[in-house]
Chain A
Amino acid sequence: MASMIGMRVKRKEDPKLITGNGNFTDDIKLPGMLYAAFLRSTHAHARIKRIDVSQAVELPGVVAVYTGEDLTGKIKSVPTSWYVPGCNLKAKDRSPLAVDKVLYVGEGVAMVVAEDRYTAYDALNAIEVEYEELKAVTGQEAALKDGAPLVHEDVKNNLAFLWKAGDVPDEAFTNAEVVVRERYYEQRVVPNPMETRAAVAQYNSGSGDMTVWCTSQNPHIHRMVYAEVLGIPESKLRIIAPDVGGGFGAKIGVYADEAVVAYAARHLKRPVKWMEDRKEHFMATNHARDEVIEVELAGKRDGTMTALRVRNTANMGAYLSTMGAGVPTICFGLMVTGAYAIPQAAVEVYGVYTNTTPTDAYRGAGKPESAYQIERAVDAFAREIGMDPVEIRRKNFVPKEKFPYDTAMAVTYDSGDYMLTLDKALEIADYEELRREQEALRKQGRYLGIGLSTYVELCGLGPSKVAGAIGLQFGQWENATVRVHPSGKVTVLTGASPHGQGEDTTFAQVVADKFGVPLEDIEVLHGDTQMIPMGWGTYGSRTTPVGGAAVAIAAERVTEKAKKIAAHELEVSTEDLEFSDGIFQVKGVPGHQRTFQEIARSANMAWNLPEGMEPALEAQSFFDPSNFVYPFGAHICVVEVDSNTGQIELKRYIAVDDVGRVINPMIAEGQVHGGLAQGIGQALWEGAVYEENGQLISGTFMDYTMPKADFFPVLETAFTETPSPVNPLGAKGVGETGATASPPAVVNAVLDALRPFGITHLDMPLTPEKVWRAMQKGRKEA
Chain B
Amino acid sequence: MIPSTFDYVRAETVEDAIKLLVESEGEGKLLAGGHSLLPLMKFRLTSPGTLIDINHISDLQGVQLKDERLVVGALTTHRDIIKDQLVQEHIPVLAQTARQIGDIQVRSRGTVGGNIAHADPAADLPGVALALEAEIELQDEDGKQRVSADGFFFGPLLTALPETSVLTAVSFLIPPMHAKSVYVKYEHPASGYAVVGVCAIAGKNASGKVDFIRVGINGVSDVAYRASAVEEALLGKAVTEENIRKAALLATKDAEMSGDMFASAEYRSHLCSIYTERALKQVLL
Asked whether A769 lies within 8 Å of B4 as measured between CB atoms, the reply is no
Asked whether B5 lies within 8 Å of A122 as measured between CB atoms, the reply is yes
Q: Bound state CA distance, A704 and B190, in angstroms?
A: 6
What residues on A are CB-neighbors of B206 within 8 Å?
none
**Of listed A277, A278, A644, A769, residue having the most chain B CB within 10 A:** A769
Say yes or no: is A419 at the interface (Cβ < 8 Å to chain B). no
Which one of A278, A711, A769 contacts B1 once the chains associate, using CB atoms below 8 Å? A278
Say yes or no: is A685 at the interface (Cβ < 8 Å to chain B). yes
Asked whether B190 lies within 8 Å of A705 as measured between CB atoms, the reply is yes
* Chain B residue at minimum C-beta to C-beta distance from A689: B261
Q: Bound state CA distance, A37 and B262, in angstroms?
A: 32
Say yes or no: is B2 at the interface (Cβ < 8 Å to chain A). yes
Which of B134-142, B166-174, B215-223, B266-274 is the contact stretch? Answer: B266-274
What residues on B are CB-neighbors of A644 within 8 Å?
274
What residues on A are CB-neighbors of B190 within 8 Å?
685, 701-706
Say yes or no: is B143 at the interface (Cβ < 8 Å to chain A). no
Say yes or no: is A95 at the interface (Cβ < 8 Å to chain B). no
* Chain B residue at minimum C-beta to C-beta distance from A769: B267
Q: Bound state CA distance, A46 and B253, in angstroms?
A: 45
Say yes or no: is A396 at the interface (Cβ < 8 Å to chain B). no
Beta-carbon contacts under 8 Å, B68-111 to A: none
A772 with B189: in contact, given A121-B2, A279-B1, A703-B262 (CB under 8 Å)? no
The minimal Cβ–Cβ distance linking B178 to chain A, given in whole angstroms, is 29
Q: How many residues belonging to B are interface residues under a CB distance threshold of 8 Å?
A: 19
Say yes or no: is A697 at the interface (Cβ < 8 Å to chain B). yes
The minimal Cβ–Cβ distance linking A198 to chain B, given in whole angstroms, is 13
The minimal Cβ–Cβ distance linking A518 to chain B, given in whole angstroms, is 39
What residues on B are CB-neighbors of A278 within 8 Å?
1
Q: How many residues belonging to A are interface residues under a CB distance threshold of 8 Å?
A: 30
Asked whether A772 lies within 8 Å of B261 as measured between CB atoms, the reply is no
Asked whether A705 lies within 8 Å of B274 as measured between CB atoms, the reply is no
Say yes or no: is B191 at the interface (Cβ < 8 Å to chain A). yes
What residues on A are CB-neighbors of B270 within 8 Å?
645, 772
- B interface majority secondary structure: loop
The minimal Cβ–Cβ distance linking A117 to chain B, given in whole angstroms, is 6
Which one of A279, A689, A705, A772 contacts B43 once the chains associate, using CB atoms below 8 Å? A279
Asked whether A769 lies within 8 Å of B264 as measured between CB atoms, the reply is yes
The minimal Cβ–Cβ distance linking A776 to chain B, given in whole angstroms, is 9
Which one of A117, A702, A707, A767 contacts B2 once the chains associate, using CB atoms below 8 Å? A117
Beta-carbon contacts under 8 Å, B1-39 to A: 1-5
The minimal Cβ–Cβ distance linking A126 to chain B, given in whole angstroms, is 11
What residues on A are CB-neighbors of B3 within 8 Å?
118
Say yes or no: is A21 at the interface (Cβ < 8 Å to chain B). no
What residues on A are CB-neighbors of B5 within 8 Å?
118, 122
Q: Bound state CA distance, A705 and B190, in angstroms?
A: 4
**Of listed B3, B4, B43, B261, residue having the most chain A CB within 10 A:** B261
Say yes or no: is A717 at the interface (Cβ < 8 Å to chain B). no
The minimal Cβ–Cβ distance linking A707 to chain B, given in whole angstroms, is 8
A129-153 interface code vs B (CB 8 A; 1 in, 0 out): 0000000000000000000000000
Say yes or no: is B263 at the interface (Cβ < 8 Å to chain A). yes
Asked whether A772 lies within 8 Å of B267 as measured between CB atoms, the reply is yes
What residues on B are CB-neighbors of A121 within 8 Å?
2, 4
What residues on A are CB-neighbors of B44 within 8 Å?
125
What residues on B are CB-neighbors of A122 within 8 Å?
4-5
Q: Bound state CA distance, A703 and B261, in angstroms?
A: 8
* Chain B residue at minimum C-beta to C-beta distance from A642: B274
Say yes or no: is A698 at the interface (Cβ < 8 Å to chain B). yes
Asked whether A277 lies within 8 Å of B1 as measured between CB atoms, the reply is yes
A769 with B2: in contact, given A279-B43, A703-B190, A703-B191 (CB under 8 Å)? no
Asked whether A685 lies within 8 Å of B189 as measured between CB atoms, the reply is yes
Which one of B2, B186, B264, B267 contacts A277 once the chains associate, using CB atoms below 8 Å? B2
The minimal Cβ–Cβ distance linking A372 to chain B, given in whole angstroms, is 21
The minimal Cβ–Cβ distance linking B113 to chain A, given in whole angstroms, is 23
B179-190 interface code vs A (CB 8 A; 1 in, 0 out): 000000010011
Q: Bound state CA distance, A649 and B3, in angstroms?
A: 39
**Of listed B5, B190, B264, residue having the most chain A CB within 10 A:** B190
What residues on A are CB-neighbors of B267 within 8 Å?
768-769, 772-773
The minimal Cβ–Cβ distance linking A581 to chain B, given in whole angstroms, is 48
The minimal Cβ–Cβ distance linking A750 to chain B, given in whole angstroms, is 16
What residues on B are CB-neighbors of A773 within 8 Å?
267
* Chain A residue at minimum C-beta to C-beta distance from B39: A702
Beta-carbon contacts under 8 Å, B223-248 to A: none
Asked whether B1 lies within 8 Å of A702 as measured between CB atoms, the reply is no
Instruction: Given contact pairs A118-B5, A278-B1, A769-B264, enumerate 8 new A-B contacts (beta carbons under 8 Å).
Output: A121-B4, A277-B1, A279-B1, A645-B274, A704-B190, A707-B189, A769-B262, A769-B267
Would you list the 6 A-B pairs with minimal beta carbon distance, nearest first?
A277-B1, A705-B190, A121-B2, A769-B267, A705-B189, A702-B191
Query: Which residues from chain B sit less than 8 Å from chain A, CB to CB?
Result: 1-5, 43-44, 186, 189-191, 261-264, 267, 270-271, 274
Q: Mind listing 20 A-B residue pairs with CB under 8 Å?
A: A37-B2, A118-B5, A121-B2, A122-B5, A277-B1, A279-B43, A644-B274, A645-B270, A645-B271, A685-B189, A689-B261, A698-B261, A702-B191, A703-B191, A704-B190, A767-B262, A768-B263, A768-B267, A769-B262, A769-B264
